[in-house]
Amino acid sequence: MSGQTYMGIPREAIPWYPTIDPEACLNDAECLQFCSNDVFAAGEKTTIVANPLNCVVGCSACTSVCPTDALHFPDKRAFVETLRRLREQYAHG
């Protein structure tokens, strides 16, 4: 999704996407089947985050389908502060 923006910020600059704990991942592909944005892909031993920038900013719905809580997102409070700083940065060039 290169070239996309969110609140005037290039999507590439926004650190919002899941990470997967490989020790907890069952590689059951629940998240892969759940996410319609092709964020995930099948890996050899675990599901992988293949297209992190396809993740909808602020969405963490995929965590609800993971039976082992292997999916993690940034802390929402810290993320709001990151967005504030990025908005200021991109508003002033």
Q: Judge contact between 42 and 80, C-beta under 8 A.
A: no
- Ordered by start, the domain boundaries in the chain are 5-72
The two three-digit tokens of residue 66, written as one number: 């993971």
Secondary structure element (H or E) that encloses residue 52, with its range: none
Architecture of domain 5-72: 2-Layer Sandwich (3.30)
Average pLDDT of the residues in 60-77: 97
Cα–Cα distance measured from residue 42 to residue 3, given in angstroms and rounded to the nearest whole number:
26
pTM of the model: 0.90
The pLDDT confidence band at residue 3, using thresholds 50, 70 and 90, is confident
Q: Output the pLDDT for position 92.
A: 78
Q: Judge contact between 39 and 51, C-beta under 8 A.
A: yes
